[in-house]
Amino acid sequence: MTLFACIGAGKFESVRDSLNRLSRPGRTPGPDFAPRASGHRSPFNAIYGISWKVIHKMWGKPSHQVLQTGRTGFPAAPRRAIYPAMARKFTDPSLVIASHNAGKVREIADLLAPFGVAVVSAAELNLPEPEETGDSFAANAELKARAAAEASGLPSLADDSGLAVHALGGEPGIHSARWAETGNGRDFGVAMQKVEAALTGKADRSAHFACVLALVWPDGHVEGFEGRVDGTLVWPPRGVHGFGYDPVFRPDGYDVTFGEMDPEKKHAISHRADAFDKLVSACFRGAVP
């Protein structure tokens, strides 16, 4: 017998309303927020005698990252409900991609194409690139998206992503783009050579790409999502597709690098695609303009 059948439609709505009230500012958050002490029972459980486990079986656990959890590393942000259906839906006709990287903008635009959103890049709007002063992918993604939203007055989406090489302690990580800096701008050929040189004498060539997406509205509301793809570094670089470190990264389960892979196939399995799946589930799917 379902919980709905046990308590009736009217009480079920009261249960849901009580759960929603618990996610308001100043109230104890649900289980997907900060860790709870062992044996803790929320006011919701005390009133209705219903465990969070039962609620999760009914509604399912969240599929998107909630900023208060710290799993993406975002600082505290305006509070939102803990279930994907309660995340803010994107209903605006246009979206700023807060990036000056043409390859990244093109990839993000391709992923958003099915939703009919008019995409414009920060470069096209002549928006300045903010200094990336954050200490994590999440902090930098939010910083960039917030700067674009404030400057343009439009919802803005930014990602911060990079290559984490396990034998190098996660480097270049958030400094992935900086490793490509030269006196004449960014050259990822140089960056790939630096990574290969640093791996000299090391047997472990495993690595992963990480991506955090931040979607910020002009009113300051923010949603964040994290994705990852694991693989192995190869040398020399292979392929002409993609951008950044793609020619030296071979994803697990494949015998070609991202640089050799058909772009559509890469979009389906990449770290950015993983984060986008969570973004779409939370903010785009079922949205009504």
What is the distance between the alpha carbons of residues 180 and 193, in angstroms, rounded to a whole number?
A: 10
Q: Which residues contact 155 (CB under 8 A, 6 or more apart)?
A: 90, 92, 94, 95, 96, 149, 215, 216, 217, 218
Query: Whose structure tokens read 């292979």?
Result: 238
CB 133 within 8 A of CB 143: yes
Sheet with 94-97, strands from edge to edge, namely 118-121, 94-97, 156-165, 206-216, 222-233, 249-251
Neighbours of 103 (CB within 10 A): 14
Which residues in 246-259 are b (16+ Cβ under 10 Å) and which e?
Answer: bbbbbbeeeebbbb
| Four-residue CA torsion sign, 53, 55, 59, 61 | negative
Q: Which residue has the tokens 């958050």?
A: 29
Q: Using the structure block, give the residue that is written with the tokens 């391709």.
A: 110
Contact by Cβ (8 Å): 180, 163: no
* Active site residues per annotation: 160
Fill in the DSSP letter of residue 40: -
Coil/strand/helix, residue 4 = helix
Element (DSSP H or E) covering residue 283: none
**Coil, strand, or helix at residue 168?**
helix
Residue 137's SS3 state is helix
